[in-house]
Amino acid sequence: MNSDQPLLALEDVEVRYRVTSGWFGGADVYAVNGVSLSVAEGETLGIVGESGCGKSTLGQAIVGLTPITAGSIRLKGADRAQSNTHIQIIFQDPQSSLDPRLPVWRLITEPLHIRGGYSRTQLIDRATELAVSVGLRPEQIDRYPHEFSGGQRQRIAIARALAVEPELLVLDEPTSALDVSVQAQIVNLLLTLQAQRKLSYALISHDVSLVRHVADRVAVMYLGQIVEAGLAQEVLDGPRHPYTRTLLEAVPSFERPLATIAPRAGELPSNRKLPTGCYFRDRCPSATAGCELPQILKAVEGARTVRCHVVTGALEAPR
C-alpha cells in the first residue's frame, strides 16, 4: 500500500451548480471555491463553518453525491472514481436518513444488499455483528426505525456506514440533531470506533467545541474557501484569521459574558455572487488597504495557514 500518499487529498476543488428560480433561468451557486485539504490514515480533520460556507457540499462531493466542477479528489493517490478505498457518510438527521419502512437489519446491511450476492442469513448475521459493535442489542435488529430514539437511530446509521469496512467516514453534523446528553454518547462511540478500527474522520460541524474535542486538525471555511487551517487546539485556542476570531467569540460559553457582535458581522454574504477581494472584507473588523485583492492561504507558523494578508503579510495576487 502506498503509505506516503494521504488517505484523502483534495486539490483546488470547486463545486458550482445552477439553481432555477422562477421563470427566468437561474443563478449559479458558488458552493465550494478552491478547497485543498488532506486527511491522513487514522486522523480526524474537522471542517468548521457556518451555514452556507460550503462544508456540507464539500462532504457530499467527497463521497461522490455532488459532482465537482474543478479540481481533484484522490484516495491514496488514485482518482476517487477509480479507487477501491471505501468512504461512507453519516448525515445529520438520523430521523430522515433511515427508510421508515425497512427493519434495522435490512437498513444496516443496505450497502451489502446493494452490492448483492449475500443471503438473507448472511445479512442478518452481519447486521447483528455491526449492531452490537455500535451498542445496540442483537434482538433490536428486527425492529423499525420509529421504535428508536434519536441517539439509537444515529447508532444504526453508523452501523450501516461500517458495513463495507470503510477507511474514511465523512461525519456531516453527526450530533447536531441530538440532545446534549445523547450527543456525548455518540461522540464517545465515534472515538471508540476510531481507536478500534483505525478509521479516519472528516468531521463537518458548526460546533466548535465538538471539533476541538474530536479533531486532530481543523479547517475553518468561509464562503466556500478555507480561511484558516492547522492543528485543532492551536487554531481554536488561538485563532489568527479575523473570521475565526469572530466565530469563536460568538460561540456561547459558560466562561464568557454575552459577546457584542457588530451587526454586519451577523450577516453572511450570498454565495450566488462572490465578493471581489477578500470574501470576509465586508464583515471584517480589521479590514484595511489590500483587502480588496484576492487573498491567498499562506503558512504562518508550524502547520498553521491563514488566508489574510494582515496576518501573513502576503499580498501577491494568486495565479
Partner 1 sequence: MSAQRGDILLDIDDLSLEFRTFRGAVKALNGISIKVRAGEIVGVVGESGCGKSVTMMAAMRLLPKGSARITGGAVRLFGSDPMKLSERELQHVRGRQVSTIFQEPMNALNPTRRIGEQVIEVIRRHQRLSNAAARQKAIGLLRDMLISEPERIMQAYPFELSGGMRQRVLIAMAFSCEPKLIIADEPTTALDVTVQALILSLIRQKAVSTGTAVVFISHDMAVVSQLCDRLYVLYAGRVAESGTTASVLAAPAHPYTRALIRCLPGLAAPKQPLEQIPGTLPDMLNPPPGCLFRARCREADERCVEVPPLSAIDPSRRAACWRRIEETEAA
Partner 2 sequence: MTMEATGFARHPSAAREGLRRLWYRVKGSPLTLVGAGIALVVLLVIVAAPILAPYPPDRISLSARLAAPSLQHLFGTDEVGRDLFSRVLFGARASCGIAFAIVIISTVVGSIVGCLSGVVGGVVDTAIMRLMDVFLALPALILAMALAAALGPSLFNAMLAVAVVRVPAYVRLARGQTLALRNRTYVKASRSFGASPAYLLRWHILPNALSPIIVQATLDLGGTILTAAALSFIGLGAQPPTSEWGSMVSSGRNYFLDQWWYITFPGLAILVSAMGFNLLGDGLRDMLDPRLGGR
Binding site for partner 1 (CB under 8 A): 50-51, 149, 151, 179-185, 187-188, 191-192, 206-210, 212-214, 232-233, 246-247, 249-254, 256-261, 263-268
236 lines the binding site for partner 2 (CB under 8 A): no
Residue 198 backbone phi and psi in degrees, to 5: 50, 40
Distances (CA, A) of 177 to 1, 60, 95, 138, 207: 38, 18, 9, 25, 12
Q: Which three cell numbers stand for residue 108?
A: 444496516
Distances (CA, A) of 147 to 100, 102, 185: 10, 12, 19
Question: Minimal CA–CA distance to 221: which of 35, 64, 72?
Answer: 35
Which lies closer to partner 2 via its Cβ, residue 115 or residue 264? 115
Strands (E), the chain: 8-20, 26-39, 44-48, 70-75, 78-79, 87-90, 168-172, 200-205, 217-222, 225-231, 298-299, 305-306
First CA to last CA distance, the chain:
34
Q: Does residue 149 bind partner 2 (CB under 8 A)? A: yes
- C-beta closer to partner 1: residue 73 or 199: 199
Taking the complex as a whole, how short is the minimal distance between the CB of residue 211 and partner 1, in angstroms? 9
Of 24, 51, 146, 180, which one interacts with partner 2 (CB under 8 A)? 146
Q: Which residue, 167 or 228, is less far from partner 2 as judged by CB?
A: 167
Instruction: With contacts defined by CB under 8 A, name the span among 31-39, 122-130, 150-158, 306-314 that binds partner 2.
Output: 150-158
Contact predicate 143/179, CB 8 Å = no
Q: Which stretch binds partner 2 (CB under 8 A): 27-35, 138-146, 235-243, 257-265?
A: 138-146
> Of residues 49-88, which lie at the interface with partner 2 (CB under 8 A)?
63-65, 88
Is 201 a residue that touches partner 2 (CB under 8 A)? no
Task: State which residue, 10 or 131, has the beta carbon closest to partner 1.
Answer: 131
- State which of residues 143, 206, 212, 213 lies at the interface with partner 2 (CB under 8 A): 143
